[in-house]
Amino acid sequence: MGHTSLEKLIRLQRKTPNIRNICILAHVDHGKTTLADCLVASNGIISTRLAGKMRYLDSREDEQIRGITMKSSAISLHYTAGDSEYLINLIDSPGHVDFSSEVSTAVRLCDGAIVVVDAVEGVCPQTQAVLRQAWLENIRPVLVVNKIDRLIVELKLSPQEAYTHLQKILEQVNAVTGALFTSKVLEERAVKEAEVEGGVPETSGGEQVYDWSAGLEETDDSHLYFSPDQGNVVFASAIDSWGFSIHQFAQIYCQKMGIRSEVLQKTLWGDFYLNAKAKKIMKGAQSKGKKPLFVQLVLDNIWSLYDAVVTRRDKEKVEKMVASLGLKVTARDLRHSDPKVLLSAICSQWLPVSQAVLSMVCEMLPSPSEMSSERVERLMSVGTRRFDSLPEKTQQLKQAFLECASEETAPVIVFVSKMFAVDPKSLPQNKQRPLTQEEIAQRRELARQRHAERQATSQSAENPESANAGGTQTATSANNTNTDTEALCAQREALTVKPAEEEEEKEHFVAFARVYSGVVRRGQRVFVLGPKYDPALALRTLPEGCSADDALPSIAHLACCTVEHLYLLMGRELEELEEVPAGNVLGIGGMEEFILKSATVSTSPACPPFTPLNFEATPIVRVAVEPKHPSEMPKLVRGMRLLNQADPCAEVLIQETGEHVLVTAGEVHLQRCLDDLRERFAKIEISASKPIIPFRETVIRPPKVDMVNEDLGRQQKVAVIHQAKEEQAKYSEGVQVDSSGLVNLTTPNKMATIGVRAVPLPEEVTRLLEGSSELIRTMEQFSLFAREGKTLEISQKTLEEIQDFKSKLEGHLQGRKWRNAVESIWAFGPRRCGPNVLLNSVEGYQRPSVWQCLEREKEKPEAVTLRDFDNSIVSGFQLATLSGPMCEEPLMGVCFSVESWEMKLASQFAQQDSTEEETTSHQGLEANNKKTSAAPASEVSEPGGSSEAGGGQNRRKGDAATDCYGPFSGQLIAAMKEACRCAFQAKPQRLMAAMYTCEIMATAEVLGRVYGVLSKREGRVLNEEMKEGTDMFIIRAVLPVAESFGFADEMRKRTSGLASPQLVFSHWEVISSDPFWVPTTEEEYLHFGEKADSANQALKYMNAVRKRKGLYVEEKIVEHAEKQRTLSKNK
């Protein structure tokens, strides 16, 4: 089969119903790239012999070396079925968890997916993840059960056993789909119910009608499941290049057996058998102990082929089989020493995998023009904004999506899911192309002139006199030739050399994109919409019918740019295109200035930005990087910026400490990023720190047992309190701590006193807060707007979510201690949305609640206003929660309750000596009321800003605000921060460690070693189960991130490569040991010795962080100094 010509592909790009945009998804190593090889080989791009070995789409060197895919890459293929021709835009994706963000970028551009499952390993964690991703993006999957050869060669199953095994695998896959479907139906039902409830006025009677018909029973889900008789399953062995669907076998046997192929297609899979006498297909193979049709007609044949070719190497039998199948095998293949070569040669003719897979793809997966309206709405509704709330013009664009039209009038809509860097040399415009006749002639002329010129100069050098004497004519003619040649040279250089040189300096990015509507052309002007672009706002500002060609006022998150290059993505190669019609995957060049990672591109300003990609992995591994030579810092900075753009998941930031930090999803990802930095983006030597492990700081309830598990008696508690009193000394001046942990602190100018107490939040609350940060941010924004006198539109759905969040919080915060707590939440922190809470327990101080967005429809509560400096308290809290006292890591799960806040008025302060002190907060409040009604509070900026806030207030406070301790608001922030820190320290403090979950598959022999490695690294096994139908065990465990580096490697080494774990960030966990613990009881001394530093893991972690941050670390460095001295004296 020849190489498909570019023209043909371009022609096919216009036939939208015959386009399929698909990706290959699977768990790591299940054979995606190998399968892609087979498909690529069917187009003659690589040879069939190399298919499966070359892994053509793994174009990076490290991908080839490690044998795993690290990025998604696309290739356009051509497929002919009968008389229709198809264009298949295929994207191969990585299966390793570290690169799951690459999967998201691939899935977004597709309409369908090939989910590959290893026939031995079955459904693995990433299989579930990719099925979920496909589900969330609303794309339709088909299934390829790969590596069937392993059932024959490795597991040595009989055909009957293999059949049972395959049934189990299908069940597993369908169970995952079923779970996704159920949750969706239930969710939809909940939404419907909510809508009904919301719509029906409450007076309509208390009776609730429960409509069961909206439930699961009614919804038809049969089309969702994978079943060979539905035609959405292929069984394959990509490495041996064969694969089949039931359809193919039905075709083969319908003639042989004289049974209609439709009947065979329904019965080849399932509990059917052949009654040879009656020549009928009957049901109930299992109960009657008969061979199912699938075993008899399909698996038996394959098994006997493997038996003849691989196991017994029976040449005669092979020849017979080949003849009976009507295949042609070359003598060279027949004689080859490796039986696999022969096997491939036979199978690739008999059951070519590309044929099976591609025909399934074309039949079962939708074309771009069949996009469902549900999917369109989901793509267009950003975050909390619902489709119905979009401007009308924007809603009209839905039609363009559905039509997927390539007419001139159709608006261009393109989504860019990632930017990838390409070597400038491999860009088609820089590639060497064969010279045209004209150019050859030009070059010949050029060479001739240069030759003549050289001769002329050598001549004139030989006899300068004659040249001088020769008169002016020769000289001028020589000059002429000279200038001519120079001009020509310059021209030629301009054509070739120069651009190449310049290009080398610049990294080239190509946008990985898909056209959803319209035709993109080279040189076209388009709008680039950032993720936060708001079409409603832009439509109001922009003139009617404007385009990206016009000079327009600047609008947030909107830029105009020109489409410079369009490419057809062909794996390692790119082909230049002039235009790309709707429904195709493509590459766009020249957008690097405008797009960071992903964006929406359109010719219509009404187009909304697409929903952000949902990434499954959280970047967690951070390292600080620096150049080997400090002078190369600018190169590093530039390199990091490029890396940030080129990787969908990597984050690059400069920490407060000034370090350049790289955050990645895992160890393998980290390695790849560093390699990219070194070799591609910065091109300098860099050194990376050890991974920076994040911790959180928290407080807990006083423990009931001591370190040796003895009950902490009453006496000891007293001792602890004593200790606390002693520790009073370590607090700074003006701080009072009572035995219950209440901290009272006065500002340096003695104007304000605050009382703060730290309380641990229940675990569920912390988790809830962590999961709801988006909502909290919305609430925060609402309050901010409210303070500025504006209102923020929040959709009904979001409001419901907030209400739900609030009631959940109320549910968790029960008991006397938490009475009214939810209502009196003052703020969340750090960064105003974190998992810590500031409570307002100040008697008599009422402030607008954080829940005010929920109360908007209700009668406005009588105007409650902010007290002066309310924001300073919040800022102080934000600072305190951002970095805790243990090792300056963020806090988590801590509630700070402000129990008193007393302020003296400035006037009183001025006369403080003469009059008695008057410190009631009510007076302060009244004064504020007046002030705030006159000038709306503007002190809503960040900590730094609040010191200048409220000009009126400064004037009024006059002398007080400019006392010798600096602005008062600043003092209050500092005091609040200090008070929080002291309150925190007054409680038992703990570190929290980030935890990974991992799932390890291992055989029984290596199980012991797996446990060994886990326990050495403080891992905890959650459960262990046997995988059905195999001798594998699945172990689920959690492991601290701090102990995870090198874990995968060690595991592989210790188990000789049999177990390879994948780590995914899961949660934060409190480390139970107290970093400040010193032995106090006799038992503890006995147990741990005087210093007790061997057992204290938390202390080790804490000190390591402190050291890294350059903080003071209390450590005894010289040990047993006397002994050493005595030793040396004795010498």
Q: Is 455 helix (H, G, I), strand (E, B) or coil?
A: helix
Cβ neighbors of 822 (< 8 A, separation 6 or more) are: 806, 809, 810, 813
Give the helix ranges, DSSP H, for 1017-1096: 1047-1054, 1082-1088
Looking at beta carbons only, is 106 or 1007 nearer to Mg ion?
106
Question: CB 343 → ligand GTP: shortest distance, Å?
Answer: 11
In the list 4, 13, 21, 69, the residue contacting Mg ion (rule: CB under 5 A) is 69
Choose from Mg ion, ligand GTP, none: what does 146 bind? Cβ within 5-8 Å by kind: ligand GTP
Establish if 239 lies at the interface with ligand GTP (CB under 6 A): yes
Establish if 28 lies at the interface with ligand GTP (CB under 6 A): yes
d(CA 843, CA 820) in angstroms, rounded, equals 13
* Span of 61-69, 442-450, 880-888, 964-972 interacting with ligand GTP by CB under 6 A: 61-69
Place of tokens 């025909």: 359
In the list 20, 32, 622, 787, the residue contacting ligand GTP (rule: CB under 6 A) is 32
In the list 27, 30, 32, 1106, the residue contacting Mg ion (rule: CB under 5 A) is 32
* Span of 92-100, 534-542, 929-937, 968-976 interacting with ligand GTP by CB under 6 A: 92-100
Partner residues linked to 997 by β-bridges: 1038, 1064
Question: For 582, phi and psi rounded to 5 degrees?
Answer: -60, 150
Are β-strands 894-903 and 836-840 bridged in parallel, bridged antiparallel, or unpaired? parallel
Question: CB 57 → Mg ion: shortest distance, Å?
Answer: 7
Looking at beta carbons only, is 67 or 811 nearer to ligand GTP?
67
In the list 78, 108, 140, 147, the residue contacting ligand GTP (rule: CB under 6 A) is 147
Site size toward ligand GTP (CB under 6 A) is: 22
Q: Read off the tokens for 886.
A: 């243990």
Choose from ligand GTP, Mg ion, none: what does 150 bind? Cβ within 5-8 Å by kind: ligand GTP
* DSSP string over 597-641: S-EEEES-TTPPPPPPPPPSPPP-EEEEEEESSGGGHHHHHHHHH
Establish if 977 lies at the interface with Mg ion (CB under 5 A): no
Cα separations in angstroms, 420 against 23, 75, 433, 510: 17, 15, 24, 5
d(CA 138, CA 901) in angstroms, rounded, equals 54
* Span of 233-241, 960-968, 1009-1017, 1075-1083 interacting with ligand GTP by CB under 6 A: 233-241
Question: CB 152 → ligand GTP: shortest distance, Å?
Answer: 10
* Span of 30-38, 982-990, 1012-1020, 1027-1035 interacting with ligand GTP by CB under 6 A: 30-38
Candidates 74, 72, 96; CA nearest to 9 is: 74
Establish if 26 lies at the interface with ligand GTP (CB under 6 A): yes
Looking at beta carbons only, is 672 or 787 nearer to ligand GTP?
672
In the list 95, 112, 666, 893, the residue contacting ligand GTP (rule: CB under 6 A) is 95
* Span of 22-30, 314-322, 556-564, 1085-1093 interacting with ligand GTP by CB under 6 A: 22-30
Give the helix ranges, DSSP H, for 200-314: 246-257, 261-267, 285-288, 293, 300-306
Question: For 1088, phi and psi rounded to 5 degrees?
Answer: -115, -5
CA 816 and chain centroid, separation? 42
Choose from ligand GTP, Mg ion, none: what does 29 bind? Cβ within 5-8 Å by kind: ligand GTP
Instruction: Assess contact for 19 and 583: CB atoms under 8 A.
Output: yes
* Span of 62-70, 107-115, 427-435, 1030-1038 interacting with ligand GTP by CB under 6 A: 62-70
Q: Is 662 helix (H, G, I), strand (E, B) or coil?
A: strand
Question: CB 23 → Mg ion: shortest distance, Å?
Answer: 12
Looking at beta carbons only, is 154 or 774 nearer to ligand GTP?
154
Establish if 237 lies at the interface with ligand GTP (CB under 6 A): yes
Instruction: Assess contact for 685 and 675: CB atoms under 8 A.
Output: no
Establish if 96 lies at the interface with ligand GTP (CB under 6 A): yes
d(CA 746, CA 598) in angstroms, rounded, equals 50
Establish if 243 lies at the interface with ligand GTP (CB under 6 A): no
Cα separations in angstroms, 27 against 56, 100, 149, 298: 19, 10, 18, 27
Q: Read off the tokens for 839.
A: 């409570």
Question: CB 612 → ligand GTP: shortest distance, Å?
Answer: 24
Establish if 105 lies at the interface with ligand GTP (CB under 6 A): no
d(CA 1073, CA 485) in angstroms, rounded, equals 82
Looking at beta carbons only, is 94 or 760 nearer to ligand GTP?
94
Choose from Mg ion, ligand GTP, none: what does 239 bind? Cβ within 5-8 Å by kind: ligand GTP
Place of tokens 């199953």: 157
Give the helix ranges, DSSP H, for 534-660: 535-541, 633-646
* Span of 235-243, 258-266, 633-641, 1118-1126 interacting with ligand GTP by CB under 6 A: 235-243
CB-count exposure of residue 1052 (10 Å: 0-12, 13-18, 19+): middle
Q: Which of residues 68-87 bind ligand GTP (CB under 6 A)?
A: 68-69
Question: CB 130 → Mg ion: shortest distance, Å?
Answer: 13
Cβ neighbors of 211 (< 8 A, separation 6 or more) are: none
Establish if 94 lies at the interface with ligand GTP (CB under 6 A): yes
* Other residues' Cβ atoms within 10 Å of the Cβ of residue 289: 8
Question: CB 123 → Mg ion: shortest distance, Å?
Answer: 18
d(CA 1064, CA 665) in angstroms, rounded, equals 8
Establish if 33 lies at the interface with ligand GTP (CB under 6 A): yes
- Contact mark string toward ligand GTP, 670..709, x via CB under 6 A: ----------------------------------------
d(CA 547, CA 526) in angstroms, rounded, equals 8
Residues 378, 384, 389, 391: what is their CA dihedral angle, to the nearest 10 degrees? -80
Establish if 30 lies at the interface with Mg ion (CB under 5 A): no
* Span of 237-245, 260-268, 331-339, 366-374 interacting with ligand GTP by CB under 6 A: 237-245
Question: CB 18 → ligand GTP: shortest distance, Å?
Answer: 27
In the list 25, 31, 769, 996, the residue contacting ligand GTP (rule: CB under 6 A) is 31
CA 69 and chain centroid, separation? 16
In the list 33, 43, 72, 766, the residue contacting Mg ion (rule: CB under 5 A) is 33
In the list 102, 121, 149, 697, the residue contacting ligand GTP (rule: CB under 6 A) is 149
In the list 16, 20, 21, 29, the residue contacting ligand GTP (rule: CB under 6 A) is 29
Question: For 1036, phi and psi rounded to 5 degrees?
Answer: -105, 130
Establish if 150 lies at the interface with ligand GTP (CB under 6 A): yes
Candidates 978, 1034, 972; CA nearest to 1004 is: 1034
Question: CB 885 → ligand GTP: shortest distance, Å?
Answer: 44
* Span of 232-240, 583-591, 717-725, 1086-1094 interacting with ligand GTP by CB under 6 A: 232-240
Partner residues linked to 80 by β-bridges: 85
Question: For 323, phi and psi rounded to 5 degrees?
Answer: -65, -45
d(CA 163, CA 1103) in angstroms, rounded, equals 58
Looking at beta carbons only, is 145 or 825 nearer to ligand GTP?
145
Q: Read off the tokens for 229.
A: 């008789």
Question: CB 92 → Mg ion: shortest distance, Å?
Answer: 6
The dihedral built from the CA positions of residue 675, 678, 681 and 686, taken in this order, carries a sign that is: positive
d(CA 815, CA 879) in angstroms, rounded, equals 29
Question: CB 35 → Mg ion: shortest distance, Å?
Answer: 9
Looking at beta carbons only, is 99 or 1088 nearer to ligand GTP?
99
Establish if 114 lies at the interface with ligand GTP (CB under 6 A): no
Looking at beta carbons only, is 298 or 558 nearer to ligand GTP?
298
CB-count exposure of residue 759 (10 Å: 0-12, 13-18, 19+): buried
Q: Is 100 helix (H, G, I), strand (E, B) or coil?
A: helix
Contacts with Mg ion by CB under 5 A lie at 32-33, 69
Contacts with ligand GTP by CB under 6 A lie at 26, 28-34, 55, 67-69, 94-96, 146-147, 149-150, 237-239
